[in-house]
């Protein structure tokens, strides 16, 4: 117990220290929200990765999808690495950095407002982001409850209070730079922690081959295909017992990052084009280790089928699976895991509350009722809203609705379904119209919300994947039949990709004209 408490104290001290160290880098709105657009590639890459993977993934998704798909759940981690990270950086990274600087956009809704010349799009986009980021923020707390209960035997409420207060301190004081620096430290902890966890779990089962053999003998009794129910070996097969369900998870958790405001905003802040190239490699490696390791470890969930993971009324308590996998580890390793999950949670929480506060301040208040806000006033308002969002998500997490465990999927589906297509197409195509953006907003939010009540998709994961795919179809179709934006206006925006630069002879071998 002493070891675990000491590790937590050191961890908390570092987080708060970084917050106060960064306060000089949060003197104006641009610095507070984007770190002055001077953040290096390693810090940006780690900030992207740590915001991506929260306690929901480590505790909830790893246990849930590992139980359902067996070792094939590793595909989710590979999709996160190569689609959610590598392709996201390749397709969005450079163009996002260049165009958002040209538009002087600091948030995703502000990008929509300036790229499509519509204050209404900016305001409604901000409202959508706020509505669906709050429950996602609350779900981040939820992943900690069972782990802390197992390790310290203390109430979940105490864990939530501590995490909320500490995250609030360093975000309010240091802004984006404090968040990014802490993300870098937390990312290193996550890399060490996940490797240690995999080694310990497999060692406890006699090694990888022994664990795989045990898993192959377990019958898959709850698969989607009736003819396969009770079959052995499905949990160790290449695509698992439910390939279509697995594909839906891969799409949502991988492609979803392309349309999430707190993720894309990392590209706004990176220093330069060279940093984007380095960040692409680092981010992919980070995601491959963290996501791949997380879901690979979760693939052995069925080996820990104990009474503690079964609900009283029947069914599996998925959030209990990973804590049970870790319950027999040495105290030092449990301490590392606790810091690992806290790191994942606090990094995601800080990114979410900073995104929420900045978008509500810049995209709603400054555009409507507080148009004459000075830079100093905006900073004060954003800091107050950071505290407000933390308290709001904290209250929701203390008394969560019955569907809180599914809120990450619902939030990702609505946000990425609404934002992904108009953002990505808007970086590349001059033909995207204002009405197509509205259509994407309606489609993404509509599919996700209607599914909550009508359940035409059995899982919010599949509904979210459908919302994203629908948006990618709707935007070009609607753009083809609706009026284009003013050609001169759009051409001026796209000049950002055509700027001439001067280079030294040693860096260019082209002949003189």
**Domains in the chain, ordered, with CATH?**
2-402 (1.20.1730.10)
Separation CA 311–CA 315 (nearest Å): 6
The answer to whether 215 and 71 are in contact (CB under 8 A) is: yes
For position 210, what pLDDT does the model report?
93
CA dihedral 421, 424, 429, 432 (to 10 degrees): 30
**HSE-CB for 190 with a 13 A CA cutoff:** 35
Residues 6+ apart with CB under 8 A from 461: 248, 249, 252, 409, 413
Q: What residues form DSSP beta bridges with 270?
A: 39
**Could you read off the pLDDT of 59-117 as tens digits, one per residue?**
778 888 888 888 999 999 999 999 999 999 999 999 999 999 999 888 899 999 999 99
Q: For residue 184, give Cα distances in angstroms to 44, 91, 130, 333, 408.
A: 8, 23, 26, 21, 23
Q: For residue 244, give Cα distances in angstroms to 4, 232, 411, 454.
A: 41, 19, 21, 21
SS (H, E, C) 188-199: HHHHHHHHHHHH
Separation CA 315–CA 159 (nearest Å): 26
Separation CA 134–CA 136 (nearest Å): 5
The model's pTM is 0.85
Phi and psi torsions of 270, nearest 5° = -65, 150
Residues 6+ apart with CB under 8 A from 408: 54, 56, 60, 61, 136, 139
Separation CA 235–CA 216 (nearest Å): 6
Element (H, E) at 480: helix 460-481
Separation CA 217–CA 236 (nearest Å): 9
Separation CA 266–CA 166 (nearest Å): 22
Q: What is the mean pLDDT of each run of 10 residues along the chain (513 residues)?
A: 76 86 81 80 88 78 87 94 94 92 90 94 91 79 64 71 84 86 86 86 89 87 63 83 87 88 87 86 94 92 85 77 78 76 78 85 80 84 88 76 62 91 95 96 94 84 89 96 94 86 52 47
For position 144, what pLDDT does the model report?
64
For position 386, what pLDDT does the model report?
87
Locate tokens 């995209």: which residue? 363
Q: Which two tokens stand for residue 414?
A: 């609505």
**HSE-CB for 161 with a 13 A CA cutoff:** 5
Q: Which two tokens stand for residue 115?
A: 């790229």
Count of residues making up the chain: 513
How many secondary structure helices (H) and strands (E) does the chain include? 23, 0
Q: What is the DSSP letter of 272?
A: -
Separation CA 120–CA 472 (nearest Å): 22
The answer to whether 346 and 163 are in contact (CB under 8 A) is: yes
E-strand stretches of 194-278: none
The answer to whether 473 and 260 are in contact (CB under 8 A) is: no
| Burial category of 179 from C-beta neighbours within 10 Å (exposed 0-12, middle 13-18, buried 19 and up) | buried
Over the Cα atoms of the chain, what is R_g? 23
| Burial category of 21 from C-beta neighbours within 10 Å (exposed 0-12, middle 13-18, buried 19 and up) | middle
């Amino acid at each position: 117990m002493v070891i675990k408490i000491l590790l937590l104290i050191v961890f908390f001290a570092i987080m708060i220290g970084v917050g106060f160290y960064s306060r000089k880098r949060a003197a104006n709105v641009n610095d507070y929200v984007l770190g002055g657009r001077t953040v290096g590639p390693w810090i940006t890459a780690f900030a992207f990765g740590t915001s991506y993977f929260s306690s929901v993934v480590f505790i909830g998704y790893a246990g849930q999808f590992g139980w359902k798909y067996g070792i094939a759940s590793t595909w989710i981690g590979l999709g996160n690495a190569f689609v959610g990270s590598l392709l996201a950086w390749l397709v969005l990274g450079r163009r996002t950095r260049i165009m958002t600087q040209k538009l002087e956009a600091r948030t995703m809704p502000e990008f929509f407002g300036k790229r499509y010349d519509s204050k209404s799009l900016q305001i409604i986009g901000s409202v959508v982001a706020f509505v669906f980021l709050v429950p996602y923020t609350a779900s981040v707390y939820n992943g900690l409850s069972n782990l802390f209960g197992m390790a310290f035997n203390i109430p979940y409420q105490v864990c939530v209070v501590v995490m909320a207060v500490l995250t609030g301190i360093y975000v309010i004081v240091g802004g984006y730079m404090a968040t990014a620096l802490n993300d870098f430290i937390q990312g290193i902890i996550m890399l060490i922690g996940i490797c240690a966890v995999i080694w310990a779990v497999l060692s406890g089962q006699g090694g990888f081959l022994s664990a795989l053999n045990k898993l192959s003998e377990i019958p898959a009794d709850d698969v989607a295909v009736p003819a396969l129910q009770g079959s052995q070996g499905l949990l160790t097969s290449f695509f698992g017992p439910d390939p279509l369900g697995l594909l839906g998870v891969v799409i949502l958790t991988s492609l979803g990052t392309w349309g999430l405001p707190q993720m894309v905003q990392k590209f706004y802040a990176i220093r330069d084009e060279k940093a984007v190239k380095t960040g692409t490699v680092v981010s992919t490696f980070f995601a491959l280790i963290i996501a791949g390791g997380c879901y690979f470890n979760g693939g052995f969930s069925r080996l820990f089928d104990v009474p503690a993971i079964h609900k009283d009324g029947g069914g599996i308590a998925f959030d209990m699976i990973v804590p049970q996998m870790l319950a027999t580890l040495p105290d030092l390793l449990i301490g590392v895991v606790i810091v690992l999950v806290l790191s994942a949670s606090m990094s995601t929480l800080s990114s979410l509350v900073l995104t929420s506060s900045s978008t509500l301040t810049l995209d709603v208040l400054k555009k409507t009722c507080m148009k004459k806000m000075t830079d100093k006033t905006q900073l004060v308002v954003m800091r107050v809203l950071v505290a407000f969002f933390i308290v709001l998500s904290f209250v929701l997490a203390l008394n969560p609705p019955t569907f809180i465990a599914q809120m990450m999927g619902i939030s990702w589906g609505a946000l990425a379904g609404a934002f992904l297509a108009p953002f990505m197409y808007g970086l590349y195509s001059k033909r995207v119209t204002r009405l197509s953006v509205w259509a994407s907003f309606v489609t993404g939010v509509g599919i996700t919300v209607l599914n909550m009540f009508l359940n035409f998709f059995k899982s919010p994961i599949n509904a979210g994947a459908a919302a994203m795919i629908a948006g990618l179809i709707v935007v070009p179709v609607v753009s083809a039949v609706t009026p284009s934006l003013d050609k001169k206006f759009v051409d001026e925006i796209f000049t950002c990709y055509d700027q001439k630069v001067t280079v030294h002879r040693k860096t260019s071998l082209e002949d003189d004209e």
